[in-house]
């Protein structure tokens, strides 16, 4: 019964992949446009966090009967949506406040990635250490953003981009392992979505 639940829970592996691609896309954009105003970054973060939050909520709700700890995924999605709402309702947000928001959200997502990597390790999933390493890297860079948010625009942009890229690659790593798990164990008995 437990194995059947695990097989069903990986059906939406693509949600983690999509979230990872969004994080990486935002990170690359940040690296390529360091001279842009931070207000433009705020709009991009609002869109990114809204998409990621909506995907997280959808994943949690659609798997609530399958996943034992679906509440964590729901909370992560709701926090991303709340951050998007806060950023949307306060467009005058300063360069000092935005890095704190982004730093805390990325730190939270990275901590979830660390927890997920231990879940992968428990089930002896190959490459769980990569997810752990990238998630730890995300925590380190997000803590650097929180510790001193009054860096110059380039330094702040660089840390933001590295934290986003770390979280993005971690999400893609989770999607890859979930997809691999689905192919190995769930392919022949998979229910149509």
pLDDT in tens, 60-84: 899 888 877 888 889 989 998 998 8
pLDDT at res. 137: 93
pLDDT band at 154 (very low <50, low <70, confident <90, very high): low
pLDDT band at 94 (very low <50, low <70, confident <90, very high): low
- Lowest-confidence region among 44-48, 101-105, 186-190: 186-190
d(CA 19, CA 192): 22
Please name the helix (run of DSSP H) or strand (run of DSSP E) that holds residue 112, with its range, or none: helix 97-122
Ordered by start, the domain boundaries in the chain are 2-185
pLDDT band at 152 (very low <50, low <70, confident <90, very high): very low
Eight-class DSSP state of 125: -
Mean pLDDT of 130-148: 88
Residue 34 predicted with pLDDT over 80: no
pLDDT at res. 192: 46
d(CA 110, CA 64): 22
How far is the CA of 55 from the CAs of 16, 59, 128, 153, in angstroms? 8, 6, 23, 30
């Amino acid at each position: 019964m437990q194995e059947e639940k695990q097989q069903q829970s990986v059906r939406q592996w693509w949600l983690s992949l999509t979230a990872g691609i969004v994080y990486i896309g935002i990170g690359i954009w940040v690296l390529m446009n360091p001279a842009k105003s931070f207000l433009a970054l705020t709009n991009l973060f609002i869109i990114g966090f809204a998409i990621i939050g909506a995907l997280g909520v959808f994943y949690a709700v659609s798997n609530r009967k399958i996943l034992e700890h679906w509440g964590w995924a729901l909370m992560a999605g709701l926090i991303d949506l709340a951050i998007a709402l806060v950023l949307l309702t306060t467009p005058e947000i300063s360069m000092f406040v935005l890095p704190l928001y982004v730093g805390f959200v990325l730190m939270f997502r990275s901590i979830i990635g660390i927890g997920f990597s231990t879940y992968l390790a428990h089930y002896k999933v190959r490459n769980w250490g990569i997810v752990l390493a990238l998630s730890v890297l995300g925590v380190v860079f997000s803590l650097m953003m929180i510790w001193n948010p009054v860096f110059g625009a380039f330094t702040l942009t660089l840390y933001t981009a590295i934290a986003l890229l770390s979280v993005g690659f971690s999400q893609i790593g989770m999607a890859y392992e979930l997809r691999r798990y689905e192919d190995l164990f769930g392919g022949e008995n998979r229910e149509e979505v």
